[in-house]
Amino acid sequence: MNENWNFKKPGSNEEIIDVPHTWNAFDGQDGGNDYFRGECIYRKAFEAPEIDFNNEEVYIQFAGVNASAKVFINNTEVGHHNGGYSTFRINISRHIKKENLLEVRVDNGVNDYVYPQMADFTFYGGIYRDVDLIVVSKEHFDLDFYGGPGIKVTPSVEGGTGIVRVQTYYDGPGEVHVSIFDRDGKKVAEGTGKDSTLSIPNVRLWDGVKDPYLYKAMAVLMVSNNPTDTVETRFGVRTFEIDPKKGFFLNGRPYPLRGVSRHQDWLGIGNALKKEHHEKDMEIIKEVGANAIRLAHYQHDQYFYDLCDEAGLIVWAEIPYISSHMNNGMDNTISQMKELIAQNYNHPSIITWGISNEITICTKDKKSMYKNHMILNDLCHEWDPTRPTTLAVYAACSIFNPTVHITDVVGYNFYLGWYVPGKWLNDAFLKLFHLFFPNRCLCYSEYGAEGMPNLHSKRGRRGDHSEEYQAKYHEYMLKCFKRYPYLWGTFLWNMFDFGSDARDQGGVPGRNHKGLVTFDRKIKKDSFYLYKAWWTDDPFVYICGRRYRYRNEKVTTVKVYSNQPVVELYNNGVLVETKKADKVFVFKVPLEDENNILAVAGDSKDSITINKVQKFYKPYRLKKSKSKNWVNL
């Protein structure tokens, strides 16, 4: 149902569009005053499918509409949904005719009951994921349970055997037949019952990026010996644990989580991504060598969770309960959490449910906030006792604040060395927290620094937004984390630059520039290759500062990143120096008028050109302005 919609924005002419679509693809990324938040209308004429109304039903499924939606069929309201990031379905069987008009009123306007309302990212409005029409037998697995797939798979391991509980959502007559297939399509187990437990002998584990092996569970509903519905889902069999002193374990072995965070938007596209955009993001994340990802700050597209399953990435999944608690929003946090769990329970990549992010930053009613957290924490344990809960704590929140200790494990968002001076404060915090709470599992849920590929400095100072300082900051953080193996994970903020309409920093408003990769995915910043040097094994070498071409120095510093032990550096064909180092190689190079720099590490090579100039190249310096971040700190 993605093609040929009529779209109407207030004050504008109606236009023909396809979904996925957002009306904020540009005004939500430029930091201007034209960012529109309000109600827009989508309409689509469609012909009813050929169905037997006595024995079949029709649902309409929306994979993502931000943030609230009212759905009408032939001018009759048939349903509504509050929450911009989850799938919802509506049974429209009683309302459709041969020719129909579908109308969806979509609203991303300001209110006090739907999350998020305050956060460091753009709240793109629109029908920004797929729309499908689903025809099913009247005797079918449940399509109304919080957008879930109708099948729930809970695997465990006993010795070398996989024990798989398969639950199906269905209350009517008939019998459910369940089968499990391996990756090659071979049936490895079968049974009957709406709630059945099956065994997989010699089970192959879902083993992270090393071997993300997936099985498939299929349930067939038989009524009067006739199959009336089938549902299937992929799943993986794995074990994990989080130890406060030793960190994260996968399948019984230490597995330090080297994580990045991701927002779901692209430059000029907003959040209306297609499969190729998700695939490109995954390709880049795999290239940098991450083995974990925090999908912030809301439920992401099912297709991306599928990609995480296939790639073996460990996932932190969360709802957008963020920044400021709203007393009228408690019901919405509960419904969004139920949808998150119901729709994503079967993904082996997910290991924790995140219940909030930086919620203390602008919250005044502490009692109501605390109650909301307790309800969500208990809900997660009730709906999924197999995964721990977590939350991401605002940097200024005291380690003794009771909110910090609600969930099973916890993460802190810290930008020490960026928003405040002193990278060493990261070490001080980690030692302090572990001293007071040695049995509390801790991670870094966010850390980072802005880096603009057009801004450069020979020294790189905090606040200059240069590519050089961003790299210097991350060099420190990677060494810092190595000193504290009890961290259960670290999640870099952010993998990609993203839209944040309330920001004006780095000379380009409307965006957060902490990504290792630019918003359009075209430039991998120097810091990207630092992480690649730490996190990957395939030999490579990379010369930093390739966009810092014009330099007014007699002798310049050339930095090289590599995962190889030795690097040779040449200038204009002459060997400058051979160095042994760990990841970061620093060379002093006397400059000629033009310098063709070549780095060699084994069979890997990289080259850049540097030109010597008389004066500092002014475009490299950030122009002074009334820079602000999203909370004007």
Nearest CA-CA partner of 315 in 345, 337, 357, 277: 345
Return the structure tokens found at 566.
């030795």
* Nearest-angstrom CA–CA distance, 503 and 513: 10
Other Cβ atoms within 10 Å of 616 Cβ, number: 15
Cis peptide before 572 (omega within 30 of 0): no
Which residues lie below 8 Å from residue 214, measured CB to CB, with a gap of 6+?
Answer: 183, 206, 234, 235, 236, 309, 310, 348
* Nearest-angstrom CA–CA distance, 535 and 194: 44
- Residue holding tokens 């064909």? 573
Distances (CA, A) of 628 to 38, 111, 299, 520: 25, 24, 28, 23
Strand order in the sheet with 39-47: 15-17, 5-8, 39-47, 99-107, 68-73, 76-82
String of DSSP letters for 392-409: EE-TTS-TT-GGGGSSSS
- Report whether 296 contacts 263 (CB < 8 A): yes
* Nearest-angstrom CA–CA distance, 60 and 74: 14
Return the structure tokens found at 14.
């109606």
By three-state DSSP, how is residue 341 classified?
helix
Beta strands in 159-245 (DSSP E): 161-168, 175-181, 187-192, 195-200, 206-207, 211-212, 215-223, 226-235, 240-243
Nearest CA-CA partner of 264 in 20, 567, 8, 576: 20
Intra-chain end-to-end CA distance of the chain, in Å: 44
Name the CA radius of gyration of the chain, rounded: 26
* Count of all residues that appear for the chain in the document: 633
* Nearest-angstrom CA–CA distance, 501 and 514: 15
β pairing state of 410-413 and 389-393: parallel
Which residue among the candidates 103, 139, 358, 446 is catalytic per the annotation? Answer: 358
Return the structure tokens found at 140.
């079918």
By three-state DSSP, how is residue 479 classified?
helix
Pure H helices in 483-615 = 526-535
CB-side exposure of 380: number of CA atoms within 13 Å? 28
Q: Give catalytic status of residue 468 as yes or no.
A: no
Written as one letter, the residue type at 205 is L
Which residues lie below 8 Å from residue 116, measured CB to CB, with a gap of 6+?
Answer: 123, 297, 298, 320, 321, 322, 323
* Nearest-angstrom CA–CA distance, 143 and 387: 24
Active site residues: 358
